[in-house]
Structure 1
Amino acid sequence: MPQPFVVVPRGAAAPTRPRRTPPDHPALASLRPYLADPDVTDVFINGDGALFVDRGDGARPVEGWSAEPDAARALAVASIALGGRHLDDATPCADVRWEGGIRVHAVLPPISCAGALVSIRLPAPERPSLDDLGRAGMFDAATASRLRALVANRVNLLVTGATGAGKTTLLAALLGEAAAAERIVTIEDVAELRIDHPHHVRLEARQPNLEGAGGVTLARLVREALRMRPDRLVVGECRGEEVRELLTALNTGHDGGAGTVHASGIRDVPARLEALGALAGWDGRTVARQVVSAIGAVIHVGRADGSRRVLGIARPVLAGDGWELEEASDFEGGS
């Protein structure tokens, strides 16, 4: 996300962003300058031992940095171990979360065709508010007012966009606008949402162990969350059949909930949800009825002119046996 605009008195130095504090582990020593850099959003180690870093303008190679195959494998194993999971030949792929919301994914050969792969997703060290995002150019004043109205009126929200478009950042800022007396319960496959709110309860799914035991699914966590008296129930990123859990949760009478879904454009959202619903065993008609009942507004974000922007806000409506999105200028009621 671009650095928020801050008024600086003439002649004064521009404020510096706080640096991250990555885990203190010897295997990460060569990555520490990039992990700590507040402008870096992603760090990638490829199978050939090359390092790529994204500072918001695309992944760029780091000249002079390389890792031998054994060193890259050791770094991948250590990175996953720091998140409490195991990476080896029997479990060659793993996804974990470090403290501070840093998300790490690693893959070992032979799943990776040319050496260990490590992908590290780095959240901004700040927790930007809606005001911060507005100053950064994500939306104008009129859109900011509409977004605040959606939260105040407890409309169920679906934030959509491509990878890295700012879905999680915007959702966290929106939830930060909720009243301090409200209890927010978030359910995620890997916990990434960091909300500036005094009453935020986080639940994270757990993968089964090598014997296939001990797993805790999103569906199970939704059922647990409903017993925790949430004022706002949030199911994080949906990539597959967990869309069933998102829509089911938002259809339980709990207004003000939210979730995120990948979609390349706002017009693609209906087809995307229908595809995810099919993975959950739902037909198109069922998906349509569930979406229109559960979701009050879809907020689509994407990159435009080199920065992240809110590109559209729409309301799901039934259309024949399916559904579509229609633009709406006001959201006075709940979902």
Structure 2
Amino acid sequence: MQHSKRTYVHLRNQIFDALDAAAVTSLSRPDLETQLSNAVDMLVGRDQLSVSSLAKSEYVLSMIHELVGLGPLQVLMDDESITDIMINGHKQVYIERSGLVERSEITFLDEQQLVDIAKRIADRVGRRVDESSPTCDARLEDGSRVNIVIPPVAIDGTSISIRKFRKKSIGFDELVTFGALSHEMSLILALAAKCRLNVLISGGTGSGKTTMLNAMSQYAAGRERIVTIEDTAELRLLQPHVVRLETRVAGIEGTGAITARDLVINSLRMRPDRIIVGECRGAEAFEMLQAMNTGHDGSMSTLHANSARDALARVEAMVMMATSSLPLEAIRRSIVSAVDLVVQVSRLHDGSRKVMSITEVVGMEGQSVVLEELFAFKAEPHNQEGKITGRYVTSGVMSRSVLFEKARFFGAEQQLANAIEAIELAR
């Protein structure tokens, strides 16, 4: 804000002290704006303050944002170029734009203002955040995902992390334009989704796992019944026959929690053609593998891992959380039988997000899992102006891939042949 912070706080405190909270919620935005504008004019005249018309307008807008929006954060939420907002106490606000993190000029008046906004976010979704329950996951009305941590757990002041929800899904065409993958890779992944391969999308936080899952899910057939399971609903499937399920944390009494595992088990009774788990992070992986192995081909999920092999090792560990009775070899054989492809994505240090590899799970050799890397990103040794450049290379073994057999079954041989021809021309 361009106006004096001290003057704004002086006016804000007087107006907010006189406001009736119930009246605020009942007013339309134009009416609220009119009343706030009149109050500002009256106080400026009474106290003989030197305030320009532009500053008055900024005062009113700031108060509206605080009363019915997210306060100082509202400006950042309205900026579509920002993908993440990270608040470390009332004086530090960071944003991510184009994959790069930078400090914002936006700050809060004090810690209490930040805490009030955090509690309002939690209240809107029927959750609470206070000293007895200092952490909270929530979803804003626009679908943005929010994590809140308040003192005493957050030592340096209230922390809020917001992953903004994209209003428009990004498809493969945009991802190819961004350089996240090659055109040939997009053809193969589209066919993998269409021909109902079971796919794991692996990567770190903010690497683009959900974006890739959204892009692939667009190629599921419209007649299929798809059940999605997420901690916070982010997927935007375009198919008409979709059931969206969301986990629930325990209430104030410590009861009523519904886990991802509960929802995966329940989804098997809903006659799904595909099950899509937004993120596997625990015992639900066991039921997910069971589903993949019992006719729910085309199921997909994401998880946190640094490579395709690490991803399968994480699935092993998650299955062990669900059952201790299965020997490791049986778990590995179940994974190999269930999972067809692992798509590894990453956010690089220049802020770009790329598919680092597409790997096929071939089978078992003794007690070891055999993987075949179909595509991989090879970075150039010399980067220009801090930008990572490179090229995608392929092993050229698509004719032996599981996709080859599935394409025959789904009548997509010619599409696969065209993709393989494009791959050979690009090599």
- Runs of 4 or more off by more than 4 Å in structure 1? none
Distance between the aligned counterparts of 1:212 and 1:286, measured in 2? 36
Distance between the aligned counterparts of 2:99 and 2:252, measured in 1? 39
What per-residue deviation string (whole Å, max 9, x for no partner) do you get for residues 173-204 of structure 1?
Answer: 11111121112110112222112222221000
Distance between the aligned counterparts of 1:76 and 1:285, measured in 2? 47
Letter in 1 for 2:369: W
* Structure 2: gaps of 5 or more residues: 1-64, 375-397, 408-427
For structure 1, which segment, 43-52 or 112-121, has the greater mean C-alpha deviation from structure 2 after superposition?
Answer: 43-52
What per-residue deviation string (whole Å, max 9, x for no partner) do you get for residues 120-169 of structure 1?
Answer: 00132211222222222221121111111101211011111111111101
Equivalent of residue 333 in structure 1, options 405, 408, 415: 405
Q: Is the 8 A contact 2:90 2:157 kept in 1?
A: yes
Q: TM-score, normalised by structure 2?
A: 0.68
Report % sequence identity: 39
2:367 is the alignment partner of 1:321? yes
Equivalent of residue 298 in structure 1, options 337, 342, 355: 342
Q: Is the 8 A contact 1:298 1:314 kept in 2?
A: yes
What per-residue deviation string (whole Å, max 9, x for no partner) do you get for residues 211-255 of structure 1?
Answer: 222222222212221222212111121223332233233223111
Distance between the aligned counterparts of 2:166 and 2:195, measured in 1? 28
Equivalent of residue 36 in structure 1, options 55, 78, 103: 78
Distance between the aligned counterparts of 2:107 and 2:304, measured in 1? 32
For structure 1, which segment, 279-288 or 258-267, has the greater mean C-alpha deviation from structure 2 after superposition?
Answer: 279-288
SS in 1 for 2:142: helix
What per-residue deviation string (whole Å, max 9, x for no partner) do you get for residues 234-278 of structure 1?
Answer: 112122333223323322311111000111233432333333334
* Structure 1 residue 323 displacement after superposition: 2.2
Aligned residue in 2 for 1:204: 246
Distance between the aligned counterparts of 1:224 and 1:281, measured in 2? 18
Distance between the aligned counterparts of 2:276 and 2:66, measured in 1? 32
Aligned residue in 2 for 1:142: 184
Distance between the aligned counterparts of 2:89 and 2:186, measured in 1? 43
Alignment root-mean-square deviation, CA: 2.2
Alignment of 1:1-335 (within 5 A): 26=68, 28-47=70-89, 49-63=91-105, 65-282=107-324, 284-304=328-348, 306-316=351-361, 317-328=363-374, 329=398, 330=401, 331-334=403-406
Distance between the aligned counterparts of 2:152 and 2:187, measured in 1? 51
The 1:147/1:207 distance shift into structure 2, 3 A limit, reads same
Distance between the aligned counterparts of 1:112 and 1:286, measured in 2? 43
SS in 2 for 1:271: helix
Q: Is the 8 A contact 1:47 1:117 kept in 2?
A: yes
* Structure 1 residue 69 displacement after superposition: 1.6
The structure having more radius of gyration, on CA atoms, is 2
Letter in 2 for 1:288: R
Distance between the aligned counterparts of 2:112 and 2:250, measured in 1? 28
Structure with the bigger percentage of strand: 1
Q: TM-score, normalised by structure 1?
A: 0.86
The count of corresponding residues between Structure 1 and Structure 2 is 313
Letter in 2 for 1:261: L
Structure with the bigger percentage of helix: 2
